[in-house]
A = this chain, B = another copy of it.
């Protein structure tokens, strides 16, 4: 198993290769990408920033917990930081498991823990030139027209 915070594009093929083993019947690759709209506002890109050393440490803890919980070490995760354009991958999680049910549960567990635990922040950039730190805990503003 392996996890890393990276500043270069994520190589999905390489992540898949890391978890391939003949004992596995199911491989699952989750990729989070930059969307062109969020809460009704047109987005042009996202700047990801991180508390790098802790993000690496916390991601490592998540992967270790997942390995113990799901009984496999075939887990490879990368989270990218820096400025990302629309459609670029900010996070990728490759897992493999003997059975598909295990692969789905493991993959979902890792992304949910990652979203709640790793110290990474994103500043969205909008078509009007403004930019804003996202706060997932804030109450949603009323929908814009």
Interface residues of A, Cβ cutoff 8 Å to B = 12-13, 16, 20-37, 86-87, 98, 100, 103-104, 107-108, 111
4 closest A-B pairs by CB: A22-B36, A29-B29, A27-B31, A25-B35
- A98 x B28 contact (CB < 8 A): no
- B28 x A33 contact (CB < 8 A): no
- Complex Cα distance, B107 from A26, in Å, reads 13
- A33 x B37 contact (CB < 8 A): no
- B26 x A28 contact (CB < 8 A): no
A38 to chain B, nearest CB (A): 9
- Complex Cα distance, B99 from A37, in Å, reads 12
- A24 x B13 contact (CB < 8 A): no
- B29 x A33 contact (CB < 8 A): no
Instruction: Known A-B contacts: A12-B13, A25-B33. Give 9 more (CB < 8 A).
Output: A12-B16, A13-B13, A22-B87, A23-B36, A26-B31, A29-B29, A29-B31, A35-B98, A104-B108
